Amino acid sequence: MGNTVAREDFEWVYTDQPHADRRKEILAKHPEIKALMKPDYNLIWVVVLMVLAQLTAFYLVKDLDWKWVVFWAYVFGSCISHSMTLAIHEISHNSAFGNSKAMWNRWFGIFANLPLGLPYSISFKRYHMDHHRYLGGDGIDVDIPTNFEGWFFCTRFRKFIWIVLQPFFYAIRPLCINPKPITRLEIINLLAQLAFDVAIHYLWGVKSIFYMLAGSVLGLGLHPISGHFIAEHYMFLKGHETYSYYGPLNLLTFNVGYHNEHHDFPNIPGKSLPLVKKIAAEYYDNLPQYNSWIKVLYDFVMDDTISPYSRMKRQLKGEVKQD
């Protein structure tokens, strides 16, 4: 359990990310894919139902024993919370209302954020666009772990703890790597969230608040769905930067597992990514892929050659434009 992994630095590469070139090739060969570049209006109703489901759960747990509050926070609340973060991911790409109504998507993201308990949506959108434009960009892409994470979480036990603490690192990493000035929308996101949390506490008490916050923390930490954090870009095979997952948990995560397809076509909603794979099968079928996020988590911990350092990193050239 104390074995130290071999890697001592990131995998520095001096080529552009592969997704832009592959997108051009695929569109030249399969122009019909352009028809998939449209909003997914069903996302609106799914998000509304998820918010109502969590509001119902907040009410139902208010008088339960604490052991059952914890149980339901992990078994049910964590799944809804993590799924909602991926709905917010979809909304950040304007998938709910389309690019022509960008502000509608921002307001809807704030609404979707409410049952998570912590303000997240607006800041996520700003940093996530950088992740797509400058994948692996040093000092820009905050999906890349810090040097401290790579250096310290270098044993099996420490990697396990790193997985448990994923929500913490995703929250503080932007402040360490690429802090940005706070915007008006982020303040609105914060105030709306505080008002919602106060209302839930006033109506139903501390157990409902605990259920909400615990579900978010547990759902983004040691949880089967959290395998996507590692599966997406951690380099289990040298030279391969992005990986797709084609297992059943895509049903709960708006097809975020179709990650090569998503980076190739970030303006296509998750609902349509399986169609992208089907149409352009010759580009995707032979790429490295996963069928189990649980196995990804297990392999990450147990494989002594894999660590938070197992990421491709780029020194960006030219002008960098950020949100």
Q: What is the DSSP string of 26-43?
A: HHHH-GGGGGG-S--THH
CA nearest neighbour of 313 among 205, 196, 233, 246 = 233
Using the predicted structure, report yes or no on whether residue 16 has a pLDDT greater than 80.
yes
Of the listed ranges 35-49, 157-171, 226-240, 308-322, the least confidently predicted one is 308-322
Q: How would you classify the pairing of strands 289-290 and 244-245?
A: parallel
Rounded mean pLDDT of 100-120? Answer: 97
pLDDT value at residue 5: 55
Handedness of CA 109, 120, 255, 283 (dihedral sign): positive
Tell me the pLDDT tens digit for each residue of 155-197. 999 999 999 999 999 999 999 999 999 999 999 999 999 999 9
Q: Tell me what pLDDT residue 2 has.
A: 55
Considering the chain, what is the average pLDDT of its residues? 95
Residue 15 banded pLDDT, cuts 50, 70, 90: confident
φ, ψ (nearest 5 deg) of residue 313: -130, 140
pLDDT in tens, 69-96: 999 999 999 999 999 999 999 999 999 9
pLDDT of 3 strictly over 70: no
Where does the pLDDT of residue 4 fall: very low under 50, low under 70, confident under 90, or very high at 90 and above? low
Q: Over 60: is that where the pLDDT of 1 sits? A: no
Q: What is the mean pLDDT of residues 279-302?
A: 97
Token output for 207: 């157990």
pTM over 0.75: yes
State the DSSP code for 145. P
How far apart CA 85 and CA 219 sit, in angstroms, is: 10
Give percent of the chain above pLDDT 70. 98
Cβ neighbors of 156 (< 8 A, separation 6 or more) are 1, 2, 3, 301, 302, 304
Q: What's the pLDDT score for residue 14?
A: 86
Percent of the chain clearing pLDDT 90 (strictly above): 92
d(CA 170, CA 212): 18
| pLDDT surpasses 90 at 273 | yes
319 band by pLDDT with thresholds 50, 70 and 90: confident
* Closest to 13 in 3D by CA, of 309, 242, 313, 236: 313
Q: Which of 274, 240, 281, 275 is nearest to 256 (CA)?
A: 274
pLDDT at 262: 98
Dihedral in degrees, nearest 10, Cα atoms 150, 220, 216, 155: -50
- Alpha-carbon distance of 131 to 140, in angstroms, equals 8
Of 199, 142, 200, nearest to 171 by C-alpha is 142
